[in-house]
Amino acid sequence: MRISTGTFYNESVASMNQLQVNIAQTTQQLATGRKILSPADDPAAAARAAELTQIDSANTQFGSNRIAATNVLSLADGILQSVTNLILDAKDVSTAATNGLLDAAARKSMAIDIQGRLEELIGLANSTDGTGNFIFAGAQGKVKPFADTGTGVVYQGDDVQRKVQAATGRQIPITDSGADIFMRVRNGNGTFNVAPGTANAGDSTIKQGVVTDAALYDGHDYQIHFTSANTYDINDVTTGLPVLAGNAYVSGQAISFNGIQFEIKGTPALNDTFDVTPSQNQSIFDTLTKLVATLSAPAVAVSGPTNASYRQGLSDAFNSLEQGLNVVLGTRATMGARLRELDALNVTGDDLGTQYKATLSKIQDTDYNKAISDLTQQQMVLTAAQKSFSQVSKMSLFDYL
């Protein structure tokens, strides 16, 4: 085959050009640390890299979301810790106040103590986060959730739970409505409540009971009516029909009917009544207010109606505080569970982040060993091409003419 002189030059230059392009590409890979300099280098990998970058960044974003969630939950938990202590203290007071040797002054000082506690509790329930948002106001962060209207503390927030996106497909609630924590505390035993009639003349108290058979309990209002000091009737107030008439009364003996059971102690008078109603919400604030009222009662005799009412007040307060404590502890348990889940998600999130970054690096980062070895090889080939070109181009028959 003939080789035209022009072809020799053109081909040599073209192949040296190509070698230089390769070297430039490898140099760029080394300089940028990226294997894929343009999607055309590896279209599938480029698209995958863009997708992974997004997934990784979303994962990082979820991490910051979890930090925000942890901060809010920890703050709320800290406040509820104080609320727990406050309720325990109030319970202690209500127990201590049952000591029959207390005089009016001692009760008064206890009442002042509890009044202080009530105000402290309102303060705690109106806690704000670092940026001035009320924590227990639901979604109404700028509205002070608990206000003392003089006739009781009312809730002005809403029932919305704020949530954060803690992971793909997982939203974790980070707040709880103040109404659920402080306001929606069931009185009585949570199902029904018992209370002495306000005009009772005897010296008797009633103890919160239990539901013995939920299927039989119908949620009606009932009244125990003493027809003498030793006998009582049970009437269904809702239907107006008697349930059991002429029962013999023994102090402290369980009274059971329609799936419920409770005890009356002491010596009731004729026409004394005790009411059984379904439980209602009674806020912790109400409970404390009532406890203050009980403790502030001006005259408490050694026995008789005033004493019975005093003891009943303390026992109800104790019972309601216990109910409130359960609600607060239940909320804290839920918060703890959420915090634990956040911790678990943090671990998974970190693992995922490491994996995403490793995969991303595999897809798009330069393999330095390979790139450097490529570069060396390409340099060698280019040097060889240049040398052979300069040698061969020197050969001409004209030199010998």
Partner 1 sequence: MAGIYGIGVSALKAAQAGIAATTHNIANANTPGYSRQEIMQTAELPQNTGAGYFGQGANVTSVLRRYDQFLGVQVLEAQTQTSNLTAQFDLAQQVSNLFGDANGGLTPALQDFFSSVNTVSNAPESIAARQTMIGSGQSLVNRLDTFDQRLSQIRDSLNGRMTSSVASINSYAKQIAALNVNIVELQAKTPGQAPNDLLDQRDLLISQLSQEIRVTTVSQPEGSVDVFIGNGQSLVVGRTVSSLHTVTSTTDPTALDVAYLNNGNSAKIQQSQLQGGNLGAYLDFRQNILDPAVNSLGRIAIGLAETFNQQHQQGLDLKGALGTAFFSSAAPRTTSASGNLGTGALTATISDASALTARDYSVQFDGTNYNIFDTTSNALVQSFTEADLTAGQVVTGTGITLQLTGSASIGDSFLVRPTADAAKGMALNITDPSKIAAASPIRSNAPIANKGSGVIGAATVDTTAVPLLPLNVNLQNAVTITFIDATHFNVDDATLGPLAVNSVYDPAVGATLSFNGWTAKLTGVPSANDTFTIQNNINASSDGTNVLKMAELQTANTMVNGTTSYQGAYGQLISQVGTQTRELDVTSKAQSSMLAQVTKAQQSTSGVNLDEEAANLLKYQQAYQAAAKAMAISQSMFDSLLQLGG
Write out the residues near partner 1 by the rule CB under 8 A: 1-7, 11, 14, 34, 36, 38-44, 46-48, 50-51, 53-54, 57-58, 61, 64-65, 68-69, 131, 133, 137-143, 155, 158-165, 168, 171, 175, 179, 183-184, 219, 278-281, 283, 364, 396-398, 401
What's the sign of the alpha-carbon dihedral 43, 47, 48, 52?
positive
Whichever of 278 and 305 has its CB closer to partner 1, that residue is 278
Distance, in Å, from the CA atom of 238 to the CA atom of 228, rounded to the nearest integer, reads: 24
Count the Cβ atoms, other than its own, within 10 Å of residue 211.
16
Question: Nearest distance from residue 49's CB to partner 1, in Å?
Answer: 8
Question: Nearest distance from residue 396's CB to partner 1, in Å?
Answer: 6
CB 392 within 8 A of CB 8: yes
Whichever of 155 and 318 has its CB closer to partner 1, that residue is 155
Question: Nearest distance from residue 213's CB to partner 1, in Å?
Answer: 17
Under DSSP, the state recorded for 399 is G
Under DSSP, the state recorded for 1 is -
What does each C-alpha distance from 260 to 81, 209, 212, 224 come to in angstroms? 34, 7, 5, 13
Element spanning 205, H or E = strand 203-211
What does each C-alpha distance from 79 to 92, 120, 142, 284, 341 come to in angstroms? 20, 11, 18, 15, 20
Phi, psi at 264, each rounded to 5°: -115, 135
Question: Nearest distance from residue 8's CB to partner 1, in Å?
Answer: 9
Question: Nearest distance from residue 401's CB to partner 1, in Å?
Answer: 6
Whichever of 303 and 393 has its CB closer to partner 1, that residue is 393
Question: Nearest distance from residue 156's CB to partner 1, in Å?
Answer: 9
Whichever of 112 and 216 has its CB closer to partner 1, that residue is 216
Whichever of 99 and 391 has its CB closer to partner 1, that residue is 391
CB 180 within 8 A of CB 159: yes
Return the exposure string of 192-201: e unless at least 16 CB atoms fall within 10 Å of the residue's CB, then b.
Answer: bbbbbbeebe
Whichever of 19 and 69 has its CB closer to partner 1, that residue is 69
Whichever of 31 and 397 has its CB closer to partner 1, that residue is 397
Beta bridge partners of 255: 262
Question: Nearest distance from residue 71's CB to partner 1, in Å?
Answer: 10
Whichever of 55 and 201 has its CB closer to partner 1, that residue is 55
Whichever of 61 and 95 has its CB closer to partner 1, that residue is 61
Question: Nearest distance from residue 180's CB to partner 1, in Å?
Answer: 10
CB 315 within 8 A of CB 205: yes
Our CA angle for 159, 335, 76, nearest 5°, is 70
Question: Nearest distance from residue 365's CB to partner 1, in Å?
Answer: 11
Contacts of 183 (CB under 8 A, 6+ apart): 155, 281, 283
Question: Nearest distance from residue 252's CB to partner 1, in Å?
Answer: 30
CB 141 within 8 A of CB 134: yes
Contacts of 357 (CB under 8 A, 6+ apart): 56
Whichever of 209 and 266 has its CB closer to partner 1, that residue is 209
Distance, in Å, from the CA atom of 401 to the CA atom of 391, rounded to the nearest integer, reads: 19
